[in-house]
Structure 1
């Protein structure tokens, strides 16, 4: 349709602000198409930047609780203050404006809008905060790209039914997404349902690095979890939650609001079901009954909720070695991928090594 064709013409290049500043001398705006047809911007996530974790009637998120538990974060830091964007967002937007960018991708903290998920009220203070950010961005000529879910969920949903391990989360995510469409969709024209859900499934339920910290041997030594099963249950629920949000937007908001909706991923095993209606055949062959099945109704819903755009987050380049047809000393971090990722070949690095120090608590990109 018209919207899909228009969306295909838009190119989005998102640089983390610190990388943009570090390499500013190597980037020339003239190397890219004019601003009317190309969005050149910065990107953040709510937990990494906002702070103000108990302000504005915000509820506790899974990250708030997790980082306050002794031993979960190596240096004991947390996102209580982070970059203090909650208080300094106007300064931050002015900095973006001074860089000359015309887009900004940020995520909405679920617990600022719905402190208790669908089991509580919509928080007017949280709505006002994001309204202020969106309006300030537009005033500066910066297009807001909104990520609905960037790894932080209300802690209450973890306590009530286990968060992403339960199909109940699909109802909560749909409710949260619809509140966002209602409150901000008159001005937000680009929606990202989720940021790299495949990495959340891996880091939170296979390696145990992200909340709720689930894993089992040989991937890690956690108090709870099953690294061979839980990541796929979680992934399944995230795929169906994404489809639910897209369906709600398509059926109730897109025509009147005139926006676009997509997802940011880093792996095929999410795109295949989202676009084609099922997991890759190779994945099904490797995992067998461990991999959840989509019902016929769910497959039809996935087929009906096509994307307007696909976001690809690219940080670095790796060599991959096929471990199905050749022997490998598998790294547990690579899970069931049957592939080995390497930064060098025959002792030669793939490229120049860089050392970027990640500030604050985590790597929630």
Structure 2
């Protein structure tokens, strides 16, 4: 709340933050909803709006419930699409009356690279020459990225069909890109 006060005092008019899947559904669809997590995010959203700051919410920012990784391999399995859709819809139901700007994924291209090629992020898969991990092969970054894109499409479809008209929001994705300019012309 102190940070929100500081943002308000600086004249910030929007704030992007992520909802931790693990804070809302610690075990994915295989466990109970955490009411403390819902209360936490409701308080943030309400405080932002009271100060005239538009919440911009990222649904997934590298925090997959461990149970989904253990149960079926997380982003390496097509099962993740249904689970991500379930989580996204829960966010739309709980917060969509106040959140008008949604981001499904933060930089899924980097997550695929750093989690399944370089091994820097969980689950820490990689392959030579990019790393020396216990697990991983050269197809996994592509399989994981494919499932992230399909999961994005699942969430967008749910939002557009069931919530967008009623809630009046927008939904998209954030991809990492680089901008290059010549040193001289």
TM-score (norm 1): 0.49
- The aligned length equals 184
- Please state if 1:194 is matched with 2:105: yes
Structure in which a larger fraction of residues adopt helix: 2
1:74-153 paired onto structure 2 within 5 Å: 90-153=1-64
User: CA shift at 1:123, angstroms?
Assistant: 1.2
- Residues 109-147 of structure 1: CA deviation (Å, up to 9, x unaligned): 001110110111111110000000000000000000000
**Alpha-carbon RMSD:** 1.5
Measure the CA separation in 1 of the matches of 2:124 and 2:9. 40
- Residues 243-292 of structure 1: CA deviation (Å, up to 9, x unaligned): 0000000111111111110111125xxxxxxxxxxxxxxxxxxxxxxxxx
Measure the CA separation in 1 of the matches of 2:22 and 2:110. 21
Q: Which has the larger radius of gyration?
A: 1
Measure the CA separation in 1 of the matches of 2:34 and 2:141. 31
2:147 corresponding residue in structure 1: 237
1:300-315 paired onto structure 2 within 5 Å: none
Measure the CA separation in 1 of the matches of 2:31 and 2:167. 27
Measure the CA separation in 2 of the matches of 1:108 and 1:242. 15
2:174 corresponding residue in structure 1: 264
Select which of 149, 153, 156 maps to 1:246.
156
**SS, match of residue 134 in structure 2:** coil
2:119 corresponding residue in structure 1: 208
Measure the CA separation in 2 of the matches of 1:264 and 1:217. 28
1:272 corresponding residue in structure 2: none
Measure the CA separation in 1 of the matches of 2:25 and 2:158. 18
- Residues 324-359 of structure 1: CA deviation (Å, up to 9, x unaligned): xxxxxxxxxxxxxxxxxxxxx8xxxx59xxxxxxxx
Higher RCO, 1 or 2 (CA under 8 Å, sep at least 6)? 2
**SS, match of residue 141 in structure 1:** coil
Measure the CA separation in 1 of the matches of 2:152 and 2:98. 21
1:1-365 paired onto structure 2 within 5 Å: 90-226=1-137, 228-267=138-177, 317-318=179-180, 350=183
Measure the CA separation in 2 of the matches of 1:215 and 1:183. 37
Measure the CA separation in 1 of the matches of 2:26 and 2:129. 36
1:329 corresponding residue in structure 2: none
